[in-house]
Chain A
Amino acid sequence: MMNPGHKASTLRFYKEQMLRVLVHIQEHLDEDLVLEDLAKRACLSPHHFHRVFRGMLGEPLAAHVRRLRLERAAGDLRSTRRSVIEIALGTGYESHEAFSRAFKSAFGRSPSGFRGREEGPVQLPARSGVHYCSGRPPSDFRAVTHRLFAMKIAIETVAPMRVAFVRHTGPYDQCGAAWDRLCSWLGKEGYLGAGCRLIGVSYNDPESTPPEKIRYDACVTVDASFQPAGDIGVQVIGGGDYVRATHFGPYSNLKETYGRLMGQWLPRSGRHLGDAPCFEEYVNSPENTPPAELITDVFVPLSPLNSPLSTATTKAAPCD
């Protein structure tokens, strides 16, 4: 078992990694902030980084960056004489209209209306407490606290599973074609007997990856006698420690479960992420289950105990 001190140091480790990213974001708001680059600064693989970020900060990366740019714009409207269009372009909007629309929906007032009045905060609500502050990058943030009561979480060693799979590249919610192809082929061949497990491997976080680049494998467990055939491949997944959480409800809310697991549970767990991709096991079938009754087990890989990474302590390990 982990001792509490170890858990505290893990939380500190993840907070420091995120803080580096937050500082970088504040100092480079004028630039394109590329996920891969930010993930590297956090010493995490891109597919894990965004889920940790979202879970700890309580908002997706893109929303965070947008919010900070809008806060900076609000401050500039009040404290400088720069024109609205100049501020709009500096905020990353291509037109005055788009900027005004976004600004109004965030602050409840148009940019010029906002400029004309001295009252009202220049900050937008944020659970993390991180706001834009000129020349003063954040030195701390409130990691979103546990709201894990609704989740059943367990660490388990997952035995390697041999699976037949069909790869899907494109929007996550269009992976049905890969499932159709896989299951109709396996079905007519007699592989869909009792005890098959249905697993989805997501190589990217759908929230931070352009839809057309999302890679996803639809997988069904098979025994050693199965041989790959055409577009039906074979691979082995699992094999190592994973943390498992059960997600109840529609697939569209899976990101919430990933966020809680990786952003809230993980930093307080005393464990570190492994390199393998996350996977999902579909416990019941959307064929005959209403969305609210769907059950999905989410598996997030952990690096082995006593590995160099899992003993990383107070100081954030240097990248590269």
Chain B
Amino acid sequence: MNQEPLMKTKPTARKTSTKLSASAEPAAKLDLGKIFRAEYLAPRKPVVLDTAPARYLAIEGTGAPGGDVFQARIGALYSIAFTVKMTRKFSGEQDYSISRLEARYMNLNSAVEASTPRGRERERVDFASAAESRLNLGDAPLPPAHQWRWQLFIRTPEFVAADELVRAVAALRKRGKEGEAALVHLESIAEGRCVQMLHVGPYDKECDTVATMKQLAAARGLRFAGPHHEIYISDPRRVAPAKLKTILRFPVVPV
């Protein structure tokens, strides 16, 4: 989950007044991760928690996680996230922290797939690659990694408006840095009640963690009702697979 461009603002950083900044006193920096701390628990044992509907900068794609398409879209997402944030900051508007990168994998969890059976396509699934994939619920084979459909997203304050994205794309285009930034859009996601747990280790060993989460759901009379959701804590480019920390989340509903 390449986090680039990787913008740095030291923790001591506070709004600096600039020549063009608005006269109003800057409010304290908004940190959604802190405000909604209860939604970003990373427990070693699964928990059931409630999440509020939230707004995100989002981009979609198909392909192996960590592959070229995936990395390019992460780059596009961060380009917009930082250009929007820094443009606001420059003009003295409410400052906020860029939240963590998250992803949803839309076609891994058979329980939420469209009910139409995939017939022959399902039979052609490569079981070797399924074994190394991150989610195996035991109730359906997984598609090969290059067919995975995903959505990458970063939580964003409600005040960020669509026209700011348009202006950010234009600014990036002016510098030849547009890439796929025009694919980034605002999206509201409401997952409601979820099961959540910290996974430590390689992405392809998430199945045990998911099984533990599923057991808790069953014990509480709940079942998974939404796509596999990951919130990234570690940087997989540099952190050893065995030490990667990832929050896993599944929306649930009563059985």
Q: Please report A residues at the B interface, Cβ cutoff 8 Å.
A: 173-177, 179-181, 183-198, 200, 218, 223, 225, 246, 248, 251, 282-290, 293, 295
Inter-chain contact A187/B9, CB cutoff 8 Å: no
Contact B18 A251 (CB under 8 A): no
Q: Is B200 an interface residue (CB 8 A)?
A: no
In the complex, the answer to whether B6 meets A180 with C-beta atoms within 8 Å is no
Task: Please give, as numbers and ranges, the residues of chain A lying within 8 Å of B3 by CB-CB distance.
Answer: 284-285, 288-289
User: A194 touching B8 by the CB < 8 A rule?
Assistant: no
Bound CA–CA A176/B29 (angstroms): 13
Give B contacts to A, CB under 8 Å.
3-16, 18, 33, 72, 75-76, 78-79, 82-83, 85-87, 89-91, 97-101, 168, 170-179, 181, 233-235, 237-239, 245
B residues less than 8 Å from A287 (CB atoms): 7-9, 97-98
A302 to chain B, nearest CB (A): 23
Q: Which of B12, B78, B91, B178 contacts A173 (CB 8 A)?
A: B12
Q: B7–A192 contact, CB under 8 A?
A: yes
Contact of B177 among A175, A193, A200, A282 (CB under 8 A): A193
Check B79–A192 contact: CB distance below 8 A: yes
Given A180-B15, A180-B89, A190-B177, A286-B4 contact (CB < 8 Å): no
- Report whether B171 and A188 are in contact in the complex, using a CB–CB cutoff of 8 Å: yes
- Contact, CB under 8 Å: B10 / A286: yes
On chain A, the residues within 8 Å of B11 by CB distance are: 176, 286
Which 10 A/B pairs are nearest by Cβ-Cβ distance? A187-B86, A193-B177, A176-B13, A194-B75, A190-B171, A176-B10, A196-B5, A184-B90, A188-B87, A184-B89
Is there contact, CB below 8 Å, between B87 and A286? no
Q: Which residues of chain A are within 8 angstroms of B171 by Cβ–Cβ distance?
A: 188-190
Question: Smallest distance from the beta carbon of B163 to chain A beta carbons, Å?
Answer: 15
In the complex, the chain A residue whose C-beta lies closest to that of B42 is: A290
A297 to chain B, nearest CB (A): 9
Contact indicator A190/B18 (Cβ below 8 Å): no
Residue ID in chain A nearest B174 by CB atoms: A190
Q: Which residues of A contact B99 (CB under 8 A)?
A: 288
Among B16, B97, B98, B178, point to the contact of A193 (Cβ < 8 A): B178
Beta-carbon contact of A194 and B87 below 8 Å: no
Contacts of B75 in A (CB 8 A): 193-195
Give Cα A290 to B233, complex, Å: 8
- A179 near B13 with CB under 8 A, answer yes
Shortest distance from the beta carbon of B139 to any chain A beta carbon, whole Å: 34
A-B contact pairs, 26 of them (CB 8 A): A176-B9, A176-B10, A176-B12, A184-B90, A187-B85, A187-B90, A189-B171, A190-B171, A190-B173, A190-B175, A192-B86, A193-B181, A194-B72, A194-B177, A194-B179, A195-B177, A196-B4, A198-B8, A218-B8, A225-B175, A283-B238, A285-B7, A285-B9, A287-B9, A290-B233, A293-B234
* Bound-state Cα–Cα, A246 to B4, Å: 17
Cβ contact of B7, chosen from A174, A183, A290, A293, cutoff 8 A = A183
Which of B5, B170, B245 gathers the greatest number of chain A CB atoms within 10 Å? Answer: B5
- B235 with A177: CB separation less than 8 A: no
Smallest CB separation, B113 vs chain A (Å): 31
**Is there contact, CB below 8 Å, between B6 and A179?**
no
Contact B4 A194 (CB under 8 A): yes
Contact B87 A187 (CB under 8 A): yes
| Residue in A181, A188, A191 whose CB lies within 8 Å of B16 | A181
Question: Would you give the shortest CB distance from B221 to chain A, in whole angstroms?
Answer: 34
In contact, B235 and A295 (Cβ under 8 angstroms): yes
Nearest Cβ in chain A — how far from B207, in angstroms? 24
**A282-B8, A284-B6, A287-B7 known; A187+B235 contact, CB < 8 A:** no
A282-B98 Cα distance, complex, nearest whole Å? 16
How far, in angstroms, from A197 to B75 measured CA to CA in the complex?
12
Question: Which residues of B lie under 8 Å from residue A173 when comparing CB positions?
Answer: 10, 12
Q: How far is the CA of A293 from the CA of B42 in the complex (A)?
A: 14
Q: Are A293 and B179 in contact, CB atoms less than 8 angstroms apart?
A: no
Cα distance, A180 to B12, chains bound together (Å): 11
Least CB separation from B168: chain A residue: A190
Cα distance A254–B173 in the bound complex, in angstroms: 37
- Cα–Cα distance between A185 and B177 once the two chains are bound (Å): 16
The reply to whether A198 and B7 contact each other, CB–CB distance below 8 Å, is: yes
Distance in Å: Cβ of A258 to nearest Cβ of chain B: 18
Which of A186, A197, A200, A290 is B86 in contact with, Cβ under 8 Å?
Answer: A186
A193 near B172 (CB under 8 angstroms)?
A: yes
Q: How far is the CB of B21 from chain A (nearest CB, A)?
A: 9
Shortest Cβ distance from residue A149 to the other chain B in the assembled complex, whole angstroms: 13
* Contacts A194-B179, A283-B6, A286-B11 known; 6 new A-B pairs at CB < 8 A: A183-B89, A188-B91, A190-B173, A193-B83, A194-B79, A293-B245
